[in-house]
Structure 1
């Protein structure tokens, strides 16, 4: 409400509107930038212990109470492309998820206990492998 004899400063209103638009744009961009990690965290439980980056994506590795979970995330989402993720505990068969996906392959979970694990991820023609590691 305006009091009698006061004027409206239109430039101040424009500045406030521009600031509000800038804040909304920045928050939208930040939410888009972090979707990969948030998506992997929603798919795997536990704490993130390692990331295996490569040119077309990354493999996010989580651990909780002796279980190891992995998800392969694509760098740029779009049409379906070949993706895979596998987790293999020492002296056990690997758990694998592979196929044509838009966003991610997995999650894949195995009980590793205190054994070493081998984790591999592929997006298109590029891939990453952890080698045998103890988490």
Structure 2
């Protein structure tokens, strides 16, 4: 019975340590995993930045504030030409999104906002 308890305790310790290492990963590694693909555009504005990624026929975007910390209103919107926009809007600390749309070979319009600042791309990635 004691050997079983030791094995369970060891297993829990390994799981806890791996979880802590995941949380302690640098922010750039976390940002890379938000959207798949390669970054094709950044849209900076006064209170944040919208990051846009492409992977095959899909476009993914998220909005990040210049200074994370307090909850504030943020949004991100991606619209493929001829389709309705996909929007994520709410009160967040780190980012709004990600949102992904199937664009194929169509142009997309990207919008993002943090608190009082916002940006819109017009039709891009045609």
Q: TM-score, normalising length from structure 1? A: 0.71
Aligned-pair CA distance for 1:39? 3.4
Q: Report the equivalent of 1:86.
A: 77
Rounded Cα–Cα distance in structure 1 between residues aligned with 2:31 and 2:51: 7
Rounded Cα–Cα distance in structure 2 between residues aligned with 1:85 and 1:128: 10
Q: Report the equivalent of 1:111.
A: 102
Secondary structure in 1 matching 2:64: strand
Aligned-pair CA distance for 1:65? 0.7
Q: What is the aligned length?
A: 103
Q: Provide Cα deviations, 1:98-123, integer angstroms capped at 9, x if missing partner.
A: 00000000000000000000000000
The answer to whether the Cα contact below 8 Å between 1:72 and 1:121 also exists between their aligned partners in 2 is yes
Rounded Cα–Cα distance in structure 2 between residues aligned with 1:54 and 1:40: 18
Q: TM-score, normalising length from structure 2? A: 0.76
The answer to whether the Cα contact below 8 Å between 1:86 and 1:121 also exists between their aligned partners in 2 is yes
Rounded Cα–Cα distance in structure 2 between residues aligned with 1:121 and 1:89: 15
Aligned-pair CA distance for 1:60? 0.3
Structure number with greater Rg is: 1
Unaligned 5+ segments in structure 2 are 1-25
2:45 corresponds to 1:54: yes
The alignment's C-alpha RMSD in Å is 1.8
Rounded Cα–Cα distance in structure 1 between residues aligned with 2:29 and 2:103: 24
Unaligned 5+ segments in structure 1 are 1-33
Rounded Cα–Cα distance in structure 1 between residues aligned with 2:109 and 2:68: 26
